[in-house]
Amino acid sequence: MSEPPGGSARPEAATLRALLDRRAAENAAADFLICPDSGRRIGFAALRDAAAGCARRLSALGVRPGESVAFALENGYAAVLAVLGCLYGGFRATPVNLAAGPETLAYVLAHSEARVVLLGRAQEALIRAALAGREDLTALIPCDPDSGPRWPEGLPEGALPATPEAEAEGLLIYTSGTTGRPKGVLLTQRSLLAGGRNVAEAHRLTAADRALCVLPLYHINGLCVTVMGPLVSGGAVVMPRGFSASRFWDQACGQDCTWVSLVPTLFAYLLNLPEAATPPRESLARLRFARSASAPLAPETQLAFESRFGLPVIETLGLTETAAQVLSNPLPPGRRQPGSPGRAWGNEVRIADPEQRSLPPGQAGEILVRGPNVMKGYFKDPAATAEALTGTGWLRSGDLGRMDEAGYVVVTGRLKELIIKGGENIAPREIDEALISQPAVLEAAAFARPCPDYGQRVEACVTLKPGIAASEAELIAGCVARVGRFKAPDRVHILESLPKGPSGKIQRLKLLSLVSGAAASAL
């Protein structure tokens, strides 16, 4: 048995209740959650007691183990308590994407079969509208972000349900659904802890580490990386309400954080702060690394960030269906490979052809994943589950990539996003990087447009850095110089912003309709 992060060798906890009970017994007063917006701090013992109390109240409302409890909450104490209270009681925690539209919210709340919803004051009108006409609701529980749920007056504490099994469904989290209805990903208690363990082991987290969580808990990156990872390692989490570029470094350095988890867009925002906002190197001394996930990070962005802030960037790859982390670059002095999310940690990864046969190093194919962190399946969707999970336990990720002899993976795109021009496969990421390498470009995303001559042609959308101008012709010329005329985009659309999901990932499949709609409205 390997040595677990920050502790002596022992059997690993298989459920959240077992893990939280262990943390409360061994390190009761140590801070786990720090909320800089309110100044609230809560230790392991107090958090365990609050989670048990939340589970008892949900039980008193008639929620049975295995049923969904939805929560629509911004980051903070209430959101953490909602997740841990559900998991402690054996209920199915179901986060609601606050960036989703009313139609998607209504679908998720109905499809999840949640009869109890914990919600913040700012989300109340939106959630009530999404629940209109529902006759099976038990309760809407308002929550204060800093003090937690306001249970109905007179509601007694119910009996604490029996300890859930490791294979009990712990989280029902919905994908972004850019090509139709979102799918509900079912992760077991064991899967969630395995996901946190992968993070802790890849990044060598210990009880001395403190994460800065600026990504929403309704996204797998925020939940499994910066909550489950520290729980597994016995560390702590600093959790502001959300990301603020102007306050980021004060929060990270002022709260003695040792690592942060970001998405590529946030790296770009921090790089675009004025030079005067760069903290002195001595202020950054406690920070060990910045972690990048949820979308490919351009090598130029990584190198620029490391040069300016002196902080190593660890690029990773994770999926909702794998409780976050699948691949990670090692920490220094290990070899980090810009442009690659690294090697497998805690699970098996291989590159396969359409028949799921392994391909040799250097050949491109679909990335497959197998391990204890992989989902149980899609909720109430056996057809999608059968398509995604093979009979031997491999998850078909839908990502395309290739692996070198050392096991480092390069992601070249998504199966559904691949541009096929004149029979040649063009990875959108290659075009993205050709654009982002140009001085004026802040963000870029290439996409396919139907074309009578080639079947598809390449186009792209970009946003520009403040105060730097560039024409469409200049941007296309820069791409031609890097990738050649055939792969270079025929059009580059300069926009004020690009559509993104809750994790900050650009929603590439929305770009064609976005620019086509803008062109039509201009006529």
Contact of 402 with 363, CB cutoff 8 Å? yes
Q: How many whole angstroms separate alpha carbon 177 and alpha carbon 320?
A: 12
User: How do beta strands 377-378 and 365-370 pair?
Assistant: unpaired
Q: What is the pTM for the complete model shown?
A: 0.84
Ordered structural domains, the chain, with CATH? 42-189 (3.40.50.980), 191-415 (3.40.50.12780), 418-522 (3.30.300.30)
Pick from 179, 173, 176: which is nearest to 111 by CA? 173
Cite the beta strand spans of 131-213 per DSSP E: 139-144, 148-149, 169-174, 184-188, 210-213
Secondary element (H or E) of residue 249: helix 245-254
Supply 66's token pair: 């295995």
pLDDT value at residue 178: 46
pLDDT value at residue 503: 62
pLDDT value at residue 417: 81
Q: How many whole angstroms separate alpha carbon 376 and alpha carbon 185?
A: 8
pLDDT value at residue 487: 92
pLDDT value at residue 11: 60
Question: What pLDDT tens digit does each residue of the chain (523 aa) get?
Answer: 333 444 434 568 899 999 999 999 999 999 999 999 999 999 999 999 999 999 999 999 999 999 999 999 999 999 999 999 999 999 999 999 887 778 889 999 999 999 999 999 999 998 998 998 888 999 999 999 999 999 999 999 899 999 999 999 999 999 865 446 889 999 999 999 999 999 999 999 999 999 999 999 999 999 999 999 999 999 999 999 999 999 999 999 999 999 999 988 899 899 999 999 999 999 999 999 999 998 788 888 899 999 999 999 999 999 999 999 999 999 999 999 998 999 999 999 999 998 899 999 999 999 999 999 999 999 999 999 999 999 999 999 999 999 999 999 998 877 778 788 877 778 888 899 999 999 999 999 999 999 887 888 999 999 999 999 999 999 999 999 999 899 999 999 999 999 987 666 788 888 998 998 765 455 4
User: Which residue(s) pair with 387 in the sheet?
Assistant: none
Q: How many whole angstroms separate alpha carbon 499 and alpha carbon 229?
A: 29
* Start-to-end Cα distance in the chain: 67
DSSP state of 223: I
Q: How many whole angstroms separate alpha carbon 91 and alpha carbon 59?
A: 9
Contact of 401 with 351, CB cutoff 8 Å? yes
